[in-house]
Amino acid sequence: MQFNPYGGAAAELAALLVNSDPHEDLVRLLTDFGYRPITTLNAEQDARLRAWIHRLDKIFTEPTVDSLNALLAETTTRPYISTHDDRPPHLHYAWEGDPMDERVKAYAAAGLATLFCEAPTRIGRCSRDSCPLVFIDTSRNGRRRFCSTRCSTRVHVAAHRRRAG
């Protein structure tokens, strides 16, 4: 399934942030993801973004209109059309001059909101009981239940062993 940039890349970034190690360098994570433009996060911005990521995690368990609207309301979301870097016109949801934590929050929240409006069942949490990871379902049939093939295999092998007894 193909998503627009905010329903796709931005929603994928939201999942990446939720799945990241609590001590991971967020600027490096954003850089490796390809988020631009990268500036820096001071200690206060880093703490605010990490607290927001913790709350973002709950969206993957039960995405609702109210929960997504609450996330959007907390951002500096101000949509505008941009044409930077010889790219065709596309939407930005925060001004480039805003602090980086605010831009990341606006981008990720807008991505999840867009995806929710287009295909709400594609926002997911791994169905393996001991796995805390989340995902964006980009499969053709939209029936993904696990964060990875590894988790899927573990669940199916355990079920097979129970049946075989």
Residue 4: Cβ-neighbour burial (10 angstroms; 0-12, 13-18, 19+): middle
Q: Residues, the chain, total? A: 165
The answer to whether 57 touches 18, Cβ cutoff 8 Å, is yes
Name the percent of the chain lying above pLDDT 70. 96
Hey, what are 78's tokens? Answer: 């101000």
Average pLDDT over residues 146-162: 93
pLDDT value at position 39?
83
Per-residue pLDDT band at 6 (split at 50, 70, 90): very low
pLDDT at 3 over 60: no
pLDDT at 2 over 60: no
Distance from C-alpha of 70 to C-alpha of 65, rounded to nearest angstrom:
9
Write the pLDDT tens digit of every residue in 84-130. 888 889 888 888 888 999 999 999 999 999 999 999 999 999 999 99
Region of 137 on the Ramachandran plot (φ > 0 left; ψ -120 to 50 alpha; else beta): beta
pLDDT value at position 82?
86
Nearest CA to 134 out of 18, 7, 2 is that of 18
pLDDT at 38 over 80: no
pLDDT at 37 over 80: no
Q: How many CB atoms lie within 10 A of CB 98?
A: 17
- The domains found in the chain, sorted by start residue, are 6-164 (1.10.3300.10)
Q: How many CB atoms lie within 10 A of CB 83?
A: 9
DSSP 20: S
